Amino acid sequence: MTTYVLIPGADGRAWYWHLVVPELRGRGHEVVTMDLPQDPAAGLAEHADAVVRAIGDHDQGQNRSGMSRELVLVAQSLAGFFAPLVCERVPVDGVILVNAMIPVPGETAGDWWANTGQAEARSEFAAGQGRDPAAEFDLLTDFFHDVPPAVTEEAMAAGPAGPAEALFTQPWPLSAWPDVPTRFVQGRDDRFFPLDFQRRNAKERLGIDIEPMPGGHLLALSRPAELADLICRSKPSS
């Protein structure tokens, strides 16, 4: 049995994974979700704390049942910056990055955009699709373009949420990516982090190939069953 720890991205809400949770449980796995801190001062360590607490709460129940399990972190987007910190504190069997940001030592999430050339990649991808390459970021256009209308409506009704400001100013504290088998799942239609851009980041920063699938940036909302299939398809490999 595998326990998948589903870590949301910039939105910070466990709700992001609500369609994937039953898919994974239906495949016989355990799932851990959590809401992330909304305090603007909550940085990388505080976000990792929230994940560790959620795992601990789950483990108390598992320990009573006496069941063993593998533990795999699934990190969406911005969670790529703080999920690795969890690996330093909890025995983890694997990490699956989903449309994620990959940090390097000393880099802040605020600097990551210019360091990786994200703006240029986004503009080039937009131009290739016949969209305005100079258009400002738009939540519906860039994130929700392939999410079903009912799910989009539910997300919008929940009100604004977003990442803590401190996440973008704190240097990534690790000296290297944790020595944990890591996979990288990427949406082919991600307008925010385009496929070729992510393929380059994964190869240059982690030395791994991406696993593409249909869908945009919010795969857990647009294609939950297909994402669950890919998550479960194989164990993370070294």
Q: Do residues 54 and 83 make contact, with C-beta atoms less than 8 angstroms apart?
A: no
Token duo for residue 118? 């994200």
User: What is the mean predicted confidence (pLDDT) over 28-39?
Assistant: 95
User: What is the mean predicted confidence (pLDDT) over 124-129?
Assistant: 97
- Specify the 3-state DSSP secondary structure of 131: coil
User: What is the mean predicted confidence (pLDDT) over 176-205?
Assistant: 98
What percent of the chain is predicted at pLDDT more than 70? 93
- Confidence at residue 219, expressed as pLDDT on a 0 to 100 scale: 98
CA distance 164 to 12: 9
CA distance 214 to 77: 16
In one-letter notation, the amino acid at residue 78 is L
Per residue in 129-151, pLDDT (tens digit) is 999 999 999 999 999 999 999 99
- Any domain includes 31: yes
Structural domain that includes position 47: 2-233
Q: What is the CATH number of the domain that holds 120?
A: 3.40.50.1820
Q: Do residues 215 and 188 make contact, with C-beta atoms less than 8 angstroms apart?
A: yes
Per residue in 7-20, pLDDT (tens digit) is 999 999 999 999 99
- Any domain includes 144: yes
- Any domain includes 64: yes
CA distance 4 to 50: 15
- Confidence at residue 62, expressed as pLDDT on a 0 to 100 scale: 56
- Confidence at residue 64, expressed as pLDDT on a 0 to 100 scale: 43
- Kindly tell me if the per-residue pLDDT of 176 is higher than 50: yes
- Kindly tell me if the per-residue pLDDT of 66 is higher than 70: no
User: What is the mean predicted confidence (pLDDT) over 70-75?
Assistant: 97
What is the average pLDDT score of the chain? Answer: 93
User: What is the mean predicted confidence (pLDDT) over 66-95?
Assistant: 92
CA distance 209 to 199: 7
- Any domain includes 238: no
The burial class, CB within 10 Å (0-12 / 13-18 / 19+), for 149 is: exposed
- CA 15 distance to own-chain centroid: 13
Per residue in 36-53, pLDDT (tens digit) is 998 999 999 999 999 999
User: What is the mean predicted confidence (pLDDT) over 22-47?
Assistant: 96
Q: Which pTM value belongs to this model?
A: 0.94
Q: Do residues 96 and 73 make contact, with C-beta atoms less than 8 angstroms apart?
A: yes
For the chain, the domain total comes to: 1
CA distance 170 to 236: 28
- Confidence at residue 139, expressed as pLDDT on a 0 to 100 scale: 93
Q: Do residues 202 and 102 make contact, with C-beta atoms less than 8 angstroms apart?
A: yes
- Any domain includes 24: yes
- Confidence at residue 238, expressed as pLDDT on a 0 to 100 scale: 41
CA distance 94 to 73: 6
CA distance 168 to 187: 24
User: What is the mean predicted confidence (pLDDT) over 218-224?
Assistant: 98
